[in-house]
């Protein structure tokens, strides 16, 4: 079901790590070289998103880093579920930083195992049985390379911890 213009997975904030943040920032910098106007529109949407979310943001507004712990996770679960991703072009329904998108975006759709079981896009698996969904399970990072890269990023650059897309590209 995934196709250009399908934006269901682009609504609602989600936590990303600093490796995802770095990818987004590098992707935005590259876009600014080739299409400054489009990069500017992303930044404008991101700043507007941060402004809308500031009053309830469950973290540090200066750094964009989310608070940690059970209470913070509970607050985040109820946070900004209707907020559209600032990287989504509202006119085309396409991701303006598709090649630099976070891991969550890269793996959304196929059945992927997480702490809560198998996560799937209900549009892609509408009417599928549990057995059919399980048969489509995808192992995202079998060699755990993302964790190794994240460790390097967190040792060599700014903030540690999770954030959201809007804070990375504002």
Report residue 106: phi and psi, to 5°.
-65, -30
Q: Specify if 125 maps to a domain.
A: yes
Q: What is the pLDDT of residue 69?
A: 94
Domain total for the chain?
1
Residue count of the chain: 170
Residue 3 falls inside a structural domain:
no
Higher pLDDT pick, 83 / 114: 83
pLDDT at 108 over 80: no
Residue 114 lies in a domain: yes
Q: Tell me the residue range of the domain where 120 lies.
A: 8-169
For residue 110, pLDDT beyond 70 = no
In a domain? residue 41: yes
Helices (H), the chain: 18-34, 36-53, 70-77, 103-107, 130-135, 145-156, 165-169
Mean pLDDT over 63-81 rounds to 94
The answer to whether residue 46 is domain-embedded is yes
Q: Which residues contact 37 (CB under 8 A, 6 or more apart)?
A: none
């Amino acid at each position: 079901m995934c196709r250009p213009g399908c934006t269901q997975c682009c609504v609602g904030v989600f936590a990303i790590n600093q490796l995802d943040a770095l990818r987004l920032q590098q992707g935005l910098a590259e876009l600014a070289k080739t299409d400054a106007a489009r990069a500017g529109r992303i930044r404008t949407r991101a700043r507007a998103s941060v402004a809308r979310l500031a009053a309830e943001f469950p973290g540090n507004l200066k750094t964009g880093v989310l608070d940690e712990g059970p209470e913070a996770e509970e607050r985040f679960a109820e946070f900004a579920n209707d907020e559209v991703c600032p990287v989504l072009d509202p006119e085309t329904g396409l991701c303006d930083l598709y090649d630099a998108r976070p891991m969550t975006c890269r793996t959304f759709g196929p059945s992927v195992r997480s702490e809560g079981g198998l996560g799937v896009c209900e549009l892609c698996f509408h009417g599928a049985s549990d057995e059919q969904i399980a048969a489509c399970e995808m192992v995202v990072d079998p060699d755990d390379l993302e964790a190794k890269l994240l460790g390097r990023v967190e040792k060599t650059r700014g903030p540690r911890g999770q954030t959201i897309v809007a804070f990375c590209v504002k």
